[in-house]
Amino acid sequence: MIGSCLAGNGLDFFAYYTKVNNGEDWEKHSRTAEHADIVVQLNGCKLVFQRATSYLPYWETPSGQWSVPEIIPRKGDGPANRPDKNNIYAYVRLIESNDDSILVHYRYFPNFALGSHASPIGGNVGFDGVVHEYYTIYVNNTLKRVVRKGTRKTDDWNDPLNRTIQYIQLSDNGMTLLKTITPSLSKLPGRPVEGTPIKSVKEEIDPSLIWHFDEGLESLSCHPGSL
C-alpha cells in the first residue's frame, strides 16, 4: 500500500531494477528480462521509468499518476505514449544511489523511422539526433531534470549552458514546476592572446616559404617565393 510522500523520514528512499507489468496486451509479447524497468521509491510514493512510456518517467502517489512532460517531442513506430514501440532506441540506467539523492539516466532518439527489421530508414539516429535526460531525485521530495540534445558540433555539446534544466517539487498531489532554465550557447571568447609585434627582417633574397607564427593574432601566412 502506498502511503504519503511527505510522511517519510528518509528510510524509504531507494531505487531498484524490476519489471513493471500492468496487464496490457503488448506486455504479453514483450521479450525483456526481469530487470527492464527502474523504480525510485520515495517515502511511500514512486517515480517509475517503464517500457510502457518508452521510459519517460511518471510520478505515482495515492492520489494519482502524473507523467513528466516531454521537452523534446517524440515520435516513432509506436503509439503516442510509447513512441519507441519495442524500445529499440530508448533505455534507462541507474547511475548512483545514496542516502541523499538518486541519479537516473534516460537516453532516447525522439525522431526515428524503422525499415526492414529494425534497419533505420529516415529519421535521425546519429549523434546529433540523440537526447540524454538526467534525473536527480532528492530525499526532500525535489527533482532536478537535465536535458541534453545531441549537436553536430562538439563545442556545442560540451557547452555547459546548452541544456535544459528543470527543478520540480514532488508531492502527494502531483508535480509542481519550480524553475526552468532554457538552453543557450556561451559567447565565443575573443582573441586568445594579444601577441607581440611582428618583427620585420630585411631579406636579401626572397625565401621559398615564410611562417610568422602569429596564431595568437588569428592569422597565419605562408608566402611562396621564387625558387
Q: What are phi and psi of 177, to 5 degrees?
A: -75, 120
**Residues sharing a CB contact under 8 Å with residue 7, sequence separation 6 or more, in sequence order:** 43, 44
- pLDDT for position 199: 66
**Number of structural domains, the chain?**
1
Q: Is residue 153, in this structure, part of any structural domain at all?
A: yes
pLDDT in tens, the chain (227 residues): 344 676 555 568 999 999 887 767 766 666 677 788 999 999 889 999 998 899 999 999 999 999 999 999 998 888 998 898 888 889 999 999 999 999 999 999 998 876 544 444 456 677 888 999 999 999 999 999 999 999 988 899 999 999 999 999 999 999 999 999 999 998 866 555 566 666 666 667 777 777 766 655 554 444 444 33
- pLDDT for position 122: 52
The CB-based long-range contact list for 50-54 (8 Å cut-off, 24+ gap) reads: 50/20, 51/20, 51/27, 51/82, 51/87, 52/20, 52/22, 52/24, 52/27, 52/81, 52/82, 53/81, 53/82, 54/78, 54/82, 54/83, 54/84, 54/87, 54/90, 54/108
Q: Is residue 209, in this structure, part of any structural domain at all?
A: no
- pLDDT for position 224: 41
Q: Is residue 3, in this structure, part of any structural domain at all?
A: no
- pLDDT for position 71: 95
Q: Is residue 139, in this structure, part of any structural domain at all?
A: yes
- pLDDT for position 192: 56
Tell me the residue range of the domain where 29 lies.
13-181
- pLDDT for position 25: 72
Q: What is the pTM of this model?
A: 0.76
Q: Is residue 116, in this structure, part of any structural domain at all?
A: yes
Q: Is residue 192, in this structure, part of any structural domain at all?
A: no
Give dist(CA 130, CA 113) in Å, integer.
Answer: 14
Q: Is residue 223, in this structure, part of any structural domain at all?
A: no
Q: Is residue 57, in this structure, part of any structural domain at all?
A: yes
